[in-house]
Amino acid sequence: MLRTFIGFNPEELVNKQDVVINLEIEISVPNEALESDEPDGIYDYKKITKRVITYVQDGRFKLLEVLTKNLLEMIMEDDRVRWAKVEVDKPHALRFAESVSFEMEAKR
Ligand SMILES: Nc1nc2c(c(=O)[nH]1)N=C([C@H](O)[C@H](O)COP(=O)(O)OP(=O)(O)OP(=O)(O)O)CN2
């Protein structure tokens, strides 16, 4: 759960709100890493998590769709990613709904 500027209503342009982000990432694991139990060449899930946190917290997004798409593109930049799914949930986005979420996926 992160806080960012999300939405296009006047109050949303000046107040940060919570977003809940779920990532699913299917990767290739080098055989060397499986045999050696050493992290060289692995897809480091901590690195992508830190990148996502910085990008979301420092950014401004009017549309939930755009934040979801940009995160998916960021994850797909790495050639080791075979498939990924990004879900961004905006709690209390609508007065009469618990939340609204967008989900997008891509594969090579
Ligand atoms: N396709 C999208 N539609 C909307 C988005 C979006 O990102 N993608 N965003 C918004 C607003 O930013 C906000 O999340 C909801 O709008 P709001 O007018 O505040 O909704 P309410 O239910 O609270 O409105 P009330 O008039 O107070 O009932 C909208 N759509």
Question: Does the CB atom of residue 1 touch ligand 1 within 6 A?
Answer: no
Q: Domain count for the chain, please give it.
A: 1
Checking if the pLDDT of 77 tops 90, the result is yes
ipTM of the complex: 0.86
Sheet containing strand 2-6, strands side by side = 60-61, 2-6, 17-27, 81-91, 99-107
Task: Report the residue among 100, 101, 104 best suited for mutation to probe ligand 1: largest number of ligand atoms under 8 A from its CB.
Answer: 100
- Ligand 1 centroid, distance to 94 Cα (angstroms): 6
The residue segments making up the domain with residue 67 are: 2-107
Question: Does the CB atom of residue 34 touch ligand 1 within 6 A?
Answer: no
Q: Quote the pLDDT of residue 69.
A: 98
Reading the block at residue 102, the tokens are 């967008």
Displacement of CA 12 from its chain's centroid (Å): 20
Q: Which atom of ligand 1 is nearest to the CA of 93?
A: 14
Question: Does the CB atom of residue 27 touch ligand 1 within 6 A?
Answer: no
Reading the block at residue 22, the tokens are 């779920």
CATH code where residue 58 lies: 3.30.1130.10
Per-residue pLDDT tens over the stretch 48-61 = 999 999 999 999 99
Question: Does the CB atom of residue 98 touch ligand 1 within 6 A?
Answer: no
Q: Which atom of ligand 1 is nearest to the CA of 94?
A: 22
Per-residue pLDDT tens over the stretch 19-46 = 999 999 999 999 999 999 999 989 999 9
Q: What is the pTM of this model?
A: 0.93
